[in-house]
Structure 1
């Protein structure tokens, strides 16, 4: 039996325990074994750094050079066009998501999108999410990768890039309740649950010494998406 005077914490613990009944459950220990099958030298080893880390850090540095987070709170449409042409675009986004987001940044809502993304990065997930959604609407639907791309690059110590399918699958495998909380529309509750998953993952894989959420995202991606041919020995 679980006992906890904090009702919300108790509910989260019970939901995580229920997750262990999922047919895909392997737990964090199983996830670590799978990660180490592909990255035997760990998160800080040369293989992971070369394949999963360096290009993401480079993209973050490129974005910070063109438009740091503090400046993004007052981003103009001209700023947005500079970001659209900066060397901060990597394969975290699909080709279609990159094209759509660049269309937004090159259009009349570019500055508004970046200002909303900055509000999101400063912790206003609800209003920031609504603002990004509104800015994207003339160009199509927003996605979680589009919404979390810039906040993650601006501050990868605090923020997490969300690739929904692989992250939902990962949460099922490790028994976290994120897969129950996930909604496709941009909302604060889903993102807060994602950050809870990030924290739980960081604690569970502490022996791998994750430096930041780039490493956590890489861990989730390798566990969920890597196949035998992805790493050549």
Structure 2
């Protein structure tokens, strides 16, 4: 495995944000000759070329990586001021609770329109919690996660 693939693999393995299935699939790709090609898609997204990143990801469909969690993780870490890690289930639940159109605009296959809707949800959330002084989208991600997992004291999920 080359240095770029090895470094990226360590990043994916360092957190619990990425599900084990995706981590395993990413490890396979990042240990292969396709590592640089995959990483270039993350780089394209990080630099704002959403269309190229989404269309290029189709090449990794057979590897099980044509999904939002594979595409958005590294740009979120590299540029948390501009990008967001899209975990569909929790993000859709948050959007549903706040009444954001992302719920209707979401498509599971990565595409520019869904990503634009996601960034609008993030922007609207940032404005709503501005008094909390979020530093970047890591703070917004954490806020959204806490909001959907919040229960009143004494409430039980059992």
TM range (shorter): 0.7 to 0.9
Verify: 1:168 aligned to 2:85, yes or no: no
Following superposition, the deviation at residue 218 of structure 1 comes to 0.5
Q: Give the structure, 1 or 2, with the largest relative contact order (CA under 8 Å, sep 6 or more).
A: 1
Alpha carbons 1:169, 1:224 under 8 Å: kept: yes
Aligned residue in 2 for 1:187: 111
Q: Within 5 Å, give how 1:151-162 maps onto structure 2.
A: 151-162=75-86
CA change 1:193–1:87 in 2 (3 A) is: closer
Aligned residue in 2 for 1:80: 5
Count of matched residue pairs: 153
Measured against aligned partners, the alpha-carbon deviations of 1:14-48 in whole angstroms (never above 9, x if no partner) come to xxxxxxxxxxxxxxxxxxxxxxxxxxxxxxxxxxx
TM-score (norm 1): 0.61
Measured against aligned partners, the alpha-carbon deviations of 1:141-171 in whole angstroms (never above 9, x if no partner) come to 4221111000000000110011111111111
Aligned residue in 2 for 1:14: none
**Runs of 5+ in structure 1 lacking a partner?**
1-75
Aligned residue in 1 for 2:27: 102
Following superposition, the deviation at residue 124 of structure 1 comes to 0.7
For 2:83 and 2:64, the matched residues in 1 are separated by: 25
When Rg is computed on C-alpha atoms for both structures, the one with the higher figure is 1
For 1:218 and 1:175, the matched residues in 2 are separated by: 19
**Runs of 5+ in structure 2 lacking a partner?**
none
TM-score (norm 2): 0.88
Q: What CA RMSD, in Å, does the superposition of the two structures yield over aligned residues? A: 2.0
